[in-house]
Amino acid sequence: MGENAISGNLKNLTIDTRDSETLVVCFGEMLIDFVPTVGGVSLAEAPAFKKAPGGAPANVAVGVSRLGGSSAFIGKVGDDEFGRMLADILRLNNVDNSGMRFDHNARTALAFVTLRADGEREFLFFRHPSADMLLLESELDKNLIKKAKIFHYGSISLIEEPCRSTQLAAMKIAKASGSLLSYDPNLRLPLWPSEDAARKEIMSIWNLADVIKISEDEITFLTGGDDPYDDDVVLQKLFHPSLKLLVVSEGPNGCRYYTQEFKGRVGGVKVKPVDTTGAGDAFVSGLLNSLASDLTILKDEKKLREALLFANACGAITVTERGAIPAMPSMDAVQNLLSSSSAPRS
């Protein structure tokens, strides 16, 4: 998104969601990423940085909207230029931002993200504390949460109070309202006080989720070093009795899936990567957009494989451009890629 498209002083503006019956509400952090203007350099070597909106839950909300779905974001930013910019970006991307709150004392979070030569990322965060960590339970838009067909969240909000308790309260409201709970831990170790603290908190809400997306690295971390490719490891240590779907993302190689009834693998869609930022979030948005329209996907393996191939294509398109939100694909872009020869059959 070009900076000229951002209208300066608008804060949160309630948007009529296109279809509350399929609403995906995303809870958590939204921040500013500063990305080097050239790839393959360390932060110290970078000649300059370009700012971009970031934060996994916000990326997913935009991703769902970009695909034509209905989405909303709940979180806190600073009452500053960057915070207002982020609220505007959501509004301009047709995401309901009425659940955003603005902190007068804390700043919007910043992250410096390096793009190594292989397109992978390294992070340096500025959150001491940042506004996203200070969202209070009393500030939650409970009515918005109750409308969610799917309530999606990560683990970064679990790192500090008061946001930790606020996330737990929001999850409880969503669960009581019949929402499908979707969890992407989105491990960012530099933000946690220790590896043990990260593992403990991420797993503390594990059994509450209906749908979980994890990466191979996260399996290794959460299981204390076990083989992420071993189905028995996944099923015995990470699958829980009330889980409807566990998806393991494998980057360019696609994903694996596990449900109560079946398990399998869906191949990736081949593209030339430029920047992997937001690929996992695009994958999640593709999957959640499909589930919001049809929850029977969780019980029908053929439909599930089609939905996961679609999600793989969403992720693939995103890595062909720099940044997360600017690279989130439209429905037409995904369908065009899937109709090309590069897409595997589900």
Active site residues: 281
Token pair listed for 133: 């960590």
Q: Mutual orientation of helices 56-66 and 81-92 as an angle, nearest 10°? A: 30
Token pair listed for 192: 């946690």
- How far apart, in Å, are the Cα atoms of 317 and each of 72, 217, 240, 268, 269? 23, 22, 32, 11, 9
Q: Which residues contact 332 (CB under 8 A, 6 or more apart)?
A: none
Give per-residue burial for 27-64: e unless 16+ CB within 10 Å, then b. bbbbbbbbbbeebeeeeeebeeeeebbbbbbbbbbbbb
Token pair listed for 149: 């067909």
- How far apart, in Å, are the Cα atoms of 178 and each of 105, 172, 174, 181? 35, 10, 6, 9
Name the helix (H) or strand (E) containing 213: strand 211-215
The owner of tokens 């080097």 is 36
Q: Which residues contact 283 (CB under 8 A, 6 or more apart)?
A: 213, 249, 255, 311, 312, 314, 315
Beta carbons within 10 angstroms of residue 110's beta carbon: 17
Distance CA 268, CA 11 (A): 39
Give me the DSSP letters along 81-124: HHHHHHHHHHHHTT-EEEEEEEESSSBPPEEEEEE-TTS-EEEE
